[in-house]
Structure 1
Amino acid sequence: MPPTFVRIAQWPRRLEVPDSRPIRDVVVAGGGIVGWSAAAALRRHLPNVGVTVIADAPAPDALAERIGSTLPSIAAFHGDLGLSEMNAVARTASGYRVGTQFEGWAGNRPAYVHTYGEHGRPFGATSFHLYWHRVRQAGGTASFDTFSPAAELARMGRFVHPQGGPGSILASFEYGLQLNPARYLDLMRAFAVHLGAREHQAKIAQVDVRGEDGFVGGLRLDDGQVVTADLFVDCTGPAARIRSALDAKFEDWSCYLPCDRVILAEGTAPASLPVMDSVVAMSSGWRWQAASPARTSHGLVYASAHLSDSKAERALRVHSGAEPRGPAVAIRIGRRPDPWLRNCVAVGEAAVALEPLEWTNLHVAHSAIDRIVAMMPDRECAPIELAEFNRQSAAEAERIRDFLMLHYVTSDRREPFWRDAAAMRIPDGLAHTLRLFRERGRLPFQEEETFARDSWLSVLFGQGVLPHRADPLTDALPIARIEAAMGQMRDSIRAMASPLPTHADYLGNMMRRAVR
C-alpha cells in the first residue's frame, strides 16, 4: 500500500519582519579613562559604528578616573580590545597587584590579605574551606590566607604571571593592576583614536530632549556646535550630565554603606615596590596606601557625620606624609534604577556610585561597556532589551554593594562610627548569604557575581565569621590526615614563592623587553 501524504499549510513565501535601523553614530560624553575605554570598545567590536568623544575633563568626584587599583577583570577587558599588557603596564609606569591587606577591620584579630584566586587545593569529598574550618574548630591556628599562593607573593613582595598546568600552584591565582591614571588615560585615548574614534574638545552646555518620544535629540556644546547621534553614552561621572536630563530617579544606598567622603593624596613611589595595597580601619572610616612605579596613592574614606573634613585632612597628612590633592570629595552612594533609558546609557559612576573599598569603580564601568557591546539594540531602543540590560546591571551593583557592606557589618570595633555601621539594616541578599554561611559554611550562587567564592571566603574568615558547625562531609577523613595535607600545601606555597623575582625586578625585565 503506498504511503499516505497529508497536505499541510504552505509556509508564506516571505516572512514579514520590521525594518531594522541599526545604530550608526554614537556620542560618548566624558574625556576620562571611562569615556575613552567605551570609545575603544565600541570601535573595536562595532567597526560600522561612528564614535565621537566629547572630551570634557572628568570631575573630581569621578573616582574611577583617580584611583589606580583595579580588579583582575581588567586583563579580560584589555584582551577583548586587543590591547597588550606590555603596553598597558610597562608603557604607563603601572604595576601589578594580587590583593589587599586589611588591618584593624576585625577588632583585635590579625590583619588578613584578600587575594584573588584559589585558597587551598581540593581534596576529599568537599571544598577545601570546609576542611580548614574543621581543623580550626579542632584548635588549628593557621589563617585561611596562608593557603593562598597570591597572599604569599604579596607578603614577600614577589610577582610572576600565573603559569604552569592545572596542578601548578602558580596557575591558581589572579591579579589586578596598579595603574598610573594620567599615563593610562593617554594610552587609552591614543588607542581609541587609533581605532577610529573622533575627539571633540568641548563642554556640554545643554541637553536637548525631544518632546515627541523623550529621546535625547542632541547636545549643545560651549563652542556653539550641536552634536547628534543615535545613542549617547554618558561617562561624565556622578553628575551624569546627559542621563540626568531624562529623569532624576536615584536609589540612595547611604543606609547600607556609611562613608560619604574621600580625600586623596599622592607621594613618591617606594624603594621596595609592594604587590598588594594596604587598607587600615580608623575610628571614623578607613585609609589606604597603594604604590605603582610612578607614585604612591593615599586616601582616607570616612563618614562626615563622624569626622569633619578638616580633621580628615590632618589625619591623612599624618599617616601619609603627603599633601591632599584638593578638598574632600562627596560620594552620593547609590545607583540609577534605569541606567539605560531610551537612547542614553549611563556608564560607571554615572550609573552607580560606590565608595572605593575593594576597588570596584573602574570594574563597574568596564562591565557596563562590555554589556553595551553585547546587547546593542537598534535605533528604536526596544524597552524589553533595555530592561534586560538594566536588570543585569542592578544585580551586579547590588551584589557588589553587599560585598562592600560585609566588611562593615562583620566588624566588632566599638567606636561610634563602627557601632552605627554594624547596626545598619542588612539587605535581603547579604542577610541570606550570612545566614547560610554561618550555619554550615555554604555560599549561595548569584548570577551576576563580581567577586568569586574564594574572595567571599577570604573576607568572611578574615573578619572572624565562622560557621556554627562543621560540614559532615569532612568527617570522611581523619583530622590527622587533613592536617597533614594542609601542612604540605603551606610548605609548597612557601617553597614556590621564595625564588621568584621581586615585583620591581619583574617590571624591570618587562620594560627592557618593551623597548627592544
Structure 2
Amino acid sequence: MTAIDAPIERIVVVGGGIVGWSAAVALRRRVPDVAVTIVATPPSPDALADRIAQTLPSTIGFHDDLGLREEDAVLRAGGVWRLGTLFDGWAEGQPPYVHAYGPCGQPFGTASFHHHWLRAARAGTAAPFEAHAPAAALARAGRMPVPPAGPMAEVQAALVLDVPRYRGMLEAFGRHLGVVVRDGTVASVRLRGDDGFVAALALADGGEVTADVFVDASGPRAFVRTAIDAQWEDWQPWLRCDRLVTGEGAAAPLTALDTVSALPAGWRWRSAAVGRTLHGLCYAAEFLSEAEAQQALTAAGAAMVTPAASFRQGTRPAPWARNCVAIGDAATVIEPLDFTHLHSAQSAIDRIISMLPGRACHPLEIADYNRQASAEVMRVRDFVLAHYATARRPEPFWREPVALPPSLAETLALFGARGRLPFFEEETFSRDDWLAVLIGQGALPRRIDPLIDGTDAADSDRAMASYRGAIAEAVMRCPTLDDYYHSQRKRLSR
C-alpha cells in the first residue's frame, strides 16, 4: 500500500469547548478504527462557537447520527427547544417578523407559494407572510409541534443549550467511546521540514502528541492551523459588528421564540432557557463603548454581564491545509445573528468524516474539501449580510456597504427583479428562510412573476385563507413549550 493510500490511524483534536468535543465524539463514533485524542485546551472568551447557546435544527440530526438520545442531548444537558427568531426594528415602517424553521405556504397552481402571496400583497389583500408558516405560528403561540402531523409535519425544532452542561455531556460520551484526553495547552507546533505537515504538538506540561491529521478547534487564534499559514479573508467591510457582551436574567415562562432587536449600533437578543433568560448584545466598537453596551444589556434585564469579547469577522480561504483542518472559529468568525456557529462546525465535522483522505492528504482531495467548505460559509455570510443589506434604519452603523459580495448582489438583484432566488449547491438556509427575511424586511420585488397568471387571484386568496385556518386549528391542538418540557422531564424521572 502506498503512502497516499494508507488509511488514517490517529487524529488529534485541539480544543476543549463544545466544538472540539463534538469533533472528537463524532470522529470516534463514526470512524471507529481511528484513534482519537483531544487536547482539551480551555476555549478562549472570543471563541463564539463555543459560547453561543442557540443552535439551528441541524444539531438534532447531528445528535441522531451519533446515537445521542434526546433525553441525554437535550433534557439531561439542560437544553430546551426553539422554533425561530422574531426580528424587531430592522426596517422602519415594517412590523416585527418571525424567521422560523420549516416551510412557508403550500405550492399550488403554476408558481411557488410566495408568488401567490406577492400578488396578493401588491393588491393589498395579503395576510402577513409568516401567517402561512406553521413554525412561526407555533413560535408566536409558545407551542411545540406535537404530534408532528398535518401542517406541523415539516416543522423543524432547534435548541437552546446550557453550554457548560452540554460540554460535560459530550465529554462524558467521548470518554465512554474511548477518546483519549490530554489536558493542558499547546506550547508549540513542530512542522516537518520536507512537506510542511504538522509533525507534533509540544504541550506546556512537556509532553508531546503526534497524529496523522490534526483538527484545530482552538478558537480564532487557530494555534495549529496558523502554524502552516495565516491566510484570512476579511469580512469587516461588510459586517461591522466586532464586540459581544452576554448576560443572564431571571427566569421567564419558556417560549420557543427568540427576540432579536435592532439598535443604533448593533443588535440585541433574548432567549428563554431553563431557569434563566439569556441576553446578548452584538455591536460595533466604533459606535458604542463597552460600558454603554453593558448598561444597555443590564437595562434589558440581564445580570452578570460579561466583559466584551472582541472579534473580527472573516474566514480562511482554505480551512484544510496539508494534514491540519480548522473548524469553528478557527476556520470562520461570524457574528451570531442567525446562530449558525455550531451548525457550521458540525457541518465541517460531517464533511471531514465523509471526505477523510488517505494519510498523505492528497492536494486534490483537500482542494475539494476546501471548495465545498468555502461555498457553504460564503452563503452563510450572505444570509447574515442580507439582513443588513435590506435593513432600513437612519443611524451611521446601518449605512449600506459600498459593494456587496457578488453572490449576495446576484441574489438580491434576481429577487428584486421578479421574486426569484438563485440556486447554490452548498446552502445552509432554504429558500423559505431567505423569503422570511427578505419579505419580512419589506424587500419586495418590483414585478410579479408572470407564471402566477395561470391561477386566478381569487383562487389564490381562498387557498391561502384555507391554509391559514388549518395552521390555526393545528396550533391549538399542540402543547405549550412549558407543558411539553415538563411532561418530558416527568417522563425521564419515572
Q: Specify the TM-score bucket, using the shorter chain as the normaliser.
A: over 0.9
1:329-367: CA deviations, max 9, x gaps?
111100111111111110111001000000001111001
1:493-514: CA deviations, max 9, x gaps?
1111113211011011111222
Q: Is the 8 A contact 1:162 1:172 kept in 2?
A: no
Instruction: Using the TM superposition, give the Cα deviation of residue 311 of structure 1 relative to its aligned residue in structure 2, in angstroms.
Output: 1.3
Change (3 A) 1:290 1:377: same
Query: Within 2, Cα distance between the matches of 1:43 and 1:17?
Result: 25
Query: Within 2, Cα distance between the matches of 1:17 and 1:191?
Result: 35
Instruction: Using the TM superposition, give the Cα deviation of residue 20 of structure 1 relative to its aligned residue in structure 2, in angstroms.
Output: 2.5
2:321 equivalent in structure 1: 341
1:151 equivalent in structure 2: 136
Query: Within 2, Cα distance between the matches of 1:151 and 1:264?
Result: 26
1:465 equivalent in structure 2: 443
Structure 2: state its 5+ residue gaps: none
Change (3 A) 1:162 1:98: farther
State yes or no: 1:441 paired with 2:419: yes
Instruction: Using the TM superposition, give the Cα deviation of residue 408 of structure 1 relative to its aligned residue in structure 2, in angstroms.
Output: 0.4
2:155 equivalent in structure 1: 173
For 1:319, which of 294, 300, 308 is the aligned residue? 300
State yes or no: 1:295 paired with 2:295: no
Q: Is the 8 A contact 1:255 1:425 kept in 2?
A: no
Instruction: Using the TM superposition, give the Cα deviation of residue 18 of structure 1 relative to its aligned residue in structure 2, in angstroms.
Output: 6.8
1:320 partner SS = coil
1:60 equivalent in structure 2: 45
1:281 equivalent in structure 2: 262
1:111 equivalent in structure 2: 96
Query: Within 1, Cα distance between the matches of 2:291 and 2:439?
Result: 35
For 2:386, which of 389, 394, 406 is the aligned residue? 406
State yes or no: 1:394 paired with 2:374: yes
For 1:252, which of 234, 239, 249 is the aligned residue? 234
State yes or no: 1:45 paired with 2:30: yes
1:239 partner SS = coil
1:136-161: CA deviations, max 9, x gaps?
11112411101111111111111135
Change (3 A) 1:318 1:19: closer
Query: Within 2, Cα distance between the matches of 1:252 and 1:423?
Result: 14
Query: Within 2, Cα distance between the matches of 1:303 and 1:77?
Result: 33
Structure 1: state its 5+ residue gaps: 1-15
1:352-367 matches, cutoff 5 A: 352-367=332-347
Instruction: Using the TM superposition, give the Cα deviation of residue 222 of structure 1 relative to its aligned residue in structure 2, in angstroms.
Output: 1.2
2:462 equivalent in structure 1: 484
Query: Within 1, Cα distance between the matches of 2:255 and 2:369?
Result: 38
Q: Which letter maps to 1:34? A: V
Change (3 A) 1:19 1:172: closer
Query: Within 1, Cα distance between the matches of 2:4 and 2:335?
Result: 44
Q: Is the 8 A contact 2:3 2:360 kept in 1?
A: no
Change (3 A) 1:147 1:153: same
Query: Within 1, Cα distance between the matches of 2:147 and 2:313?
Result: 35
Instruction: Using the TM superposition, give the Cα deviation of residue 17 of structure 1 relative to its aligned residue in structure 2, in angstroms.
Output: 7.1
Instruction: Using the TM superposition, give the Cα deviation of residue 162 of structure 1 relative to its aligned residue in structure 2, in angstroms.
Output: 6.2
1:33 equivalent in structure 2: 18
Q: Is the 8 A contact 2:12 2:36 kept in 1?
A: yes
Q: Is the 8 A contact 2:145 2:155 kept in 1?
A: no
Q: Is the 8 A contact 2:37 2:179 kept in 1?
A: yes
Which stretch of the first structure deviates more once superposed, 364-373 or 19-28? 19-28
Instruction: Using the TM superposition, give the Cα deviation of residue 320 of structure 1 relative to its aligned residue in structure 2, in angstroms.
Output: 2.6
Query: Within 2, Cα distance between the matches of 1:267 and 1:204?
Result: 36
Change (3 A) 1:505 1:90: same
1:412-444: CA deviations, max 9, x gaps?
11111112xx13420100011011111111101
Query: Within 1, Cα distance between the matches of 2:301 and 2:244?
Result: 14
1:224 equivalent in structure 2: 206
1:426 equivalent in structure 2: 404
Q: Which letter maps to 1:183? A: R
Query: Within 2, Cα distance between the matches of 1:91 and 1:441?
Result: 44
Q: Which letter maps to 1:409? A: A
Q: Is the 8 A contact 1:160 1:506 kept in 2?
A: no
Instruction: Using the TM superposition, give the Cα deviation of residue 467 of structure 1 relative to its aligned residue in structure 2, in angstroms.
Output: 1.1
Query: Within 1, Cα distance between the matches of 2:390 and 2:91?
Result: 8
Q: Which letter maps to 1:226? A: E
Instruction: Using the TM superposition, give the Cα deviation of residue 492 of structure 1 relative to its aligned residue in structure 2, in angstroms.
Output: 1.2
Query: Within 1, Cα distance between the matches of 2:220 and 2:4?
Result: 37
1:238 partner SS = coil
1:87-123: CA deviations, max 9, x gaps?
1111112111110000000112100000111111111
Larger radius of gyration: 1
Query: Within 2, Cα distance between the matches of 1:384 and 1:268?
Result: 53
Query: Within 1, Cα distance between the matches of 2:430 and 2:4?
Result: 42
1:183 equivalent in structure 2: 165
Query: Within 2, Cα distance between the matches of 1:287 and 1:375?
Result: 38
1:470-489: CA deviations, max 9, x gaps?
12221122222211111111
Q: Which letter maps to 2:442? A: G
Query: Within 2, Cα distance between the matches of 1:443 and 1:19?
Result: 42
Q: Is the 8 A contact 2:79 2:162 kept in 1?
A: yes
Which stretch of the first structure deviates more once superposed, 73-82 or 350-359? 73-82
Which stretch of the first structure deviates more once superposed, 106-115 or 137-146? 137-146
Q: Which letter maps to 1:395? A: A
2:361 equivalent in structure 1: 381
Instruction: Using the TM superposition, give the Cα deviation of residue 192 of structure 1 relative to its aligned residue in structure 2, in angstroms.
Output: 1.2
Change (3 A) 1:372 1:19: closer
1:308-343: CA deviations, max 9, x gaps?
112111111112342312x11111100111111111
Q: Which letter maps to 1:248? A: A
Change (3 A) 1:292 1:321: closer
Instruction: Using the TM superposition, give the Cα deviation of residue 269 of structure 1 relative to its aligned residue in structure 2, in angstroms.
Output: 2.5
Query: Within 1, Cα distance between the matches of 2:273 and 2:436?
Result: 24
Q: Which letter maps to 2:441? A: Q
Query: Within 1, Cα distance between the matches of 2:4 and 2:201?
Result: 27
1:450 equivalent in structure 2: 428
1:390-425: CA deviations, max 9, x gaps?
111110111000000000011111111112xx1342
2:452 equivalent in structure 1: 474
Give the paired residue count.
494
Q: Which letter maps to 2:474? A: M
1:367 partner SS = helix
Give the TM-score, by structure 1 length. 0.94
